[in-house]
Chains A and B, each alone.
Chain A
């Protein structure tokens, strides 16, 4: 198993992921872990064809992702795992994902969310999930593109948002 990046990004697989991170890390596969996409045929088809740079794509729900991990999938590939929310990242970790840090890439503006970085807007639920991830001993590194500076997200999560 060779997971080279786990990224939270509400755009799921898009240019910054497949082109910027994919090329930087020479990723051979992008694994999208998202129940809604995995269970909606047209969305699944859309994302399965998404990679412009030629990486293979897998679309799995959280349960399926856990099963693949347990079966020892992707041992010989450099894999980027993409989830759409802190909640899904925490679920993936609960399902056996083992990684030292999670990249927080894009959580865009939405009603009821507060800006903590120009590309990271969160609400109290997000904050709690992120803190739960940090409590597992996983670093939270905010960075939209590879050449940007990484920002430790934990100090920005000190205040309640509700």
Chain B
């Protein structure tokens, strides 16, 4: 169930500097944003990465409903997030992050329920992949 008192936040769990760079890019376009953290898997084993994601969720979840966003289905970042779904029923994970998916998140998060927002992110992320 969604909690109307909470904003929606996200934790981007991704390889290398992908997460922090995407947040930088979003802020270059939309201005500074709150309620969004990046976790990198660089140099971390699965237990350490799990702890790092858990800490980021805990940092946000008093004031935010959290969406976990990962870069690659089937990668360590995504596996760790999927494992956390088993610990907490209030989490959601979406994979395949790209810039348009994240922009959609920030633009639409105040006007949508979390489950609807995730569907919008999926649609926008897919729609932004175009061949000319």
Contact = CB atoms under 8 A, between A and B. Distances in A.
Given A19-B107, A23-B107, A52-B128, A147 B31 contact: yes
B29 A16 contact: yes
A20 interface: yes
A24 to B, nearest CB: 8
Contacts of B107: 19, 23
B132 A19 contact: no
Interface string A98-116: 0000000000000000000
B38 interface: no
A147 B30 contact: yes
A20 B30 contact: yes
B94 interface: no
A35 to B, nearest CB: 25
A145 interface: yes
- Size range of the chain A interface in the assembly: 10 to 19
A87 to B, nearest CB: 26
A148 interface: yes
A49 B130 CA distance: 11
B29 A19 contact: yes
A64 interface: no
Interface string A7-33: 000000001100110010000000000
A20 B103 CA distance: 9
A147 B103 CA distance: 14
B105 to A, nearest CB: 12
A16 B25 CA distance: 11
B31 A19 contact: no
A42 B30 CA distance: 28
A20 B128 contact: no
Interface of A: 15-16, 19-20, 23, 49, 52, 144-148
Interface of B: 28-32, 100, 103, 107, 128, 132
